Copies of this chain bind each other. A is one copy, B any other.
Amino acid sequence: MALSTQPYKGARDFFPEDKRLQKYLFSKLRQTVESFGYEEYDAPILEPLELYLAKSGEEIVNEQTYSFTDRGGREVVIRPEMTPTVSRMVAARRQELGYPLRWYSIPNLWRYERPQRGRLREHWQLNVDMFGVASNAAELEMITIVDAIYKNYDATPDMYTILLNSRPLINDVLLGFLALSEAQAHAVGKLIDRIHKMERNDFIAKVDAVLTPEQRAAEAVEKLLSVLDCQTTQDLPTEVKTKPSVVELEQVLTQLQASGIANARYDASLMRGFDYYTGIVFEVADTHPENNRSMMGGGRYDGLVGLFGVDPVPTVGFGLGDATLANFLELHGLLPALTVETDLYLTTVGEVDAGLVQALAARLRAAGCAVAVDISDRKLGDQLKTASKKGITYCLVVGPEELASQSYSLKNLETGDSQSVSEAELIKQLTKA
């Protein structure tokens, strides 16, 4: 029986045109974050299972990981996220590294889940982290970078909204304003995280089920909804509004405004799924009605590095996935036409000396041109068709006469034009672009 040609379910093959898009996306990401002084790191795709048990959140570890036991009996996981890994690496060199430490990576990550638009089993994610800064200057820089990323793809501020919330503020609401226990707050937090995936009545019923009769009598559900319905921090109930957590968040929003980022706002229902966040959290939402997924997310997690037995390091970081980025750019018409890297398709006619043809190709390559030679010995028409299939613009026709006269016919497959060129003219033509 023949083998299947399909890739593993929920994962993507990258044919050259797909890979070209990925390379374009990644190159822009690298350019932006490196302009802020971030250095790239990487790590193995396999990590020990215990790395994720500590702080990632139950759903991810129990239901969504690709975990297995290796031939040596170790429980391992194909990394579902990069944050535990980068925390491990920083902890390993806690003393030697220079702070503020600015690191980034574009790892591929795996989650076992039902494949859907913008949500795949394998995806790539830009991870940007700053270690060593406890002040909100770190959050400001992170959100500035996020904004710079979208602008570097020529996105305009009306295309996306930067949403902010704060874990301490959420705790002030759940533990203080609603007087929930830690366990109740955790359960309600998970519900808030999924609020946009359920009906309002369903959400209300599920929150209600967590409450004690006393809390119901104290109208905890109504109080929660009064917070979640706030459009700005100014709308928050007075009892909440005066908390330091709210003051901090307002300061960050004000500073973002002052630095020219006008499309950032408070989002009372923004939770971020991971358990490890300890401060301000943020996401970016596409304003296009056809794309309602979060495009990236991040926040402060000051506790992770300390789990490795070293002094804790204050940290702010974010992750930005490739699939949602590509969806965003496509929906807003921001994807450029990408062309094949090959500058010239060298076709041959008649009985040519293969050594001379290859020597010509070698000289063109040495001059900086990317040259594919058609070595199929087919008719010229078939060779030109192949060049056209590959999307290569220029074809050179080389036969015994051309080799003797050192004058070649250069065809432009886009315009249909042909011109006679010397080797020097050819190089000039190909390298001018």
> Which residues of A are at the interface with B, using a C-beta cutoff of 8 A?
2-9, 11-16, 18-20, 22-23, 34-48, 50-51, 54, 66, 68-72, 74, 76, 78, 88-89, 91-93, 97-100, 102-103, 108, 110, 112, 122, 132-133, 135, 137-138, 140-141, 144, 148, 255, 258-259, 307-309, 340-342, 345, 354-355, 358-359, 365, 369-377, 385-387, 389-390
Contacts and interface: CB of A to CB of B under 8 A. Distances in A.
19 contacts: A3-B88, A3-B309, A5-B308, A7-B47, A7-B88, A8-B47, A8-B48, A8-B74, A16-B103, A20-B39, A37-B373, A39-B341, A45-B122, A71-B112, A98-B389, A100-B386, A102-B372, A135-B375, A141-B375
A23 B106 CA distance: 13
A341 B41 CA distance: 13
Given A3-B51, A3-B309, A35-B371, 18 more contacts: A3-B50, A3-B308, A6-B92, A11-B46, A13-B41, A13-B42, A15-B41, A16-B39, A19-B39, A22-B42, A23-B40, A34-B341, A34-B370, A35-B370, A45-B122, A78-B78, A133-B375, A255-B355
Contacts of A387: 98
B307 A2 contact: yes
A341 B18 CA distance: 28
Nearest to A138: B375
B34 A3 contact: no
A20 B40 CA distance: 8
A112 B70 contact: yes
Contacts of A50: 3
Contact of A93 (B15, B41, B108, B355): B15
B2 A19 contact: no
B36 A365 contact: yes
6 nearest CB pairs, A to B:
A37-B372, A2-B309, A98-B389, A11-B44, A68-B68, A5-B92
B376 A133 contact: yes
Contacts of A37: 342, 345, 370-373
Contacts of A66: 46, 70
Contacts of A23: 40
A34 to B, nearest CB: 5
A89 B13 contact: yes
A35 B365 contact: yes
A74 B6 contact: no
Given A370-B35, A373-B141, A5 B91 contact: yes
Contacts of A102: 372
B44 A122 contact: yes
- Residue among A44, A345, A386 with the most chain B CB within 10 A? A44
A40 to B, nearest CB: 5
Nearest to A342: B37
